[in-house]
Chains A and B, each alone.
Chain A
């Protein structure tokens, strides 16, 4: 069974940092591009970042460029999202995502003072 399990979300003050982790299982993780998507309350999903199989290519939505980075550990079937200089409008549920495999259950990130 395919599973994507996110962790690391929480409440953080503006300007703070968080690192999200996605643990993958049930599929050949190293074979796929992996992505992060977020969804603010009452809004549709918004793509955040994607990383290719060997970490040589990364893409980010303009609003997070220079603040977020993504990485992966294929030996541990894990995906990471390092978020810094967080802003109130980064508040959302963050999902680990692969368009050909599925979604995780999400982890909430709340940026508030």
Chain B
């Protein structure tokens, strides 16, 4: 059972915006930076956001990340069918001394 909680799924129409939350604690998100990963069906995960709010080179500015307290958020604007994927947050947990991933969120474009 993951220590980072995400909603199982979010959905919106093409062109709309979705946000994905990642809820943790002081031992992980509260004191460490967060990364966000996209996993398209049948593909390897791909890094989108690192250090909580920095986009990897080549990632469209439709993707954004933020962190506040013990939670982090991934935003996707201008939703496209190609954005349909599973999204995971991840960070280090100081108490567990492990890297932890979120439970994962499936994004559907209606």
Q: A and B from one assembly?
A: yes
Q: A45 and B47: CB pair below 8 A?
A: no
Given contacts A44-B104, A45-B45, A45-B88, contact A99 B56 (CB under 8 A): no
Interface residues of A in 79-113 (CB under 8 A from B): 93, 95, 99-106
**A68 → chain B closest CB, angstroms:** 14
Given contacts A44-B88, A99-B90, A99-B99, contact A106 B44 (CB under 8 A): yes
Tell me if A46 counts as interface (CB < 8 A to partner B).
yes
Tell me if B95 counts as interface (CB < 8 A to partner A).
no
Bitwise interface map of A from 8 to 35 toward B, beta carbon under 8 Å scored 1, else 0: 0000000000000000000000000001
Interface size class of B (residues with CB under 8 A): 20 to 34
- The docked-state distance in angstroms from the alpha carbon of A46 to that of B99 is 9
B contact patch SS: strand
Greatest chain A CB density within 10 A among B51, B88, B101 is at B101
CB-defined contacts of B91 to chain A, threshold 8 Å: 99
Interface residues of A in 32-67 (CB under 8 A from B): 35, 37, 39, 44-47, 50, 59, 61
**A58 → chain B closest CB, angstroms:** 11
Given contacts A103-B44, A104-B44, contact A47 B99 (CB under 8 A): yes
Tell me if B103 counts as interface (CB < 8 A to partner A).
yes
Interface residues of B in 8-63 (CB under 8 A from A): 35, 37, 44-47, 50-51, 56
Q: A100 and B44: CB pair below 8 A?
A: no
* 9 closest cross-chain pairs (CB), A and B: A47-B99, A99-B35, A102-B47, A100-B50, A44-B104, A105-B44, A106-B44, A45-B101, A103-B45
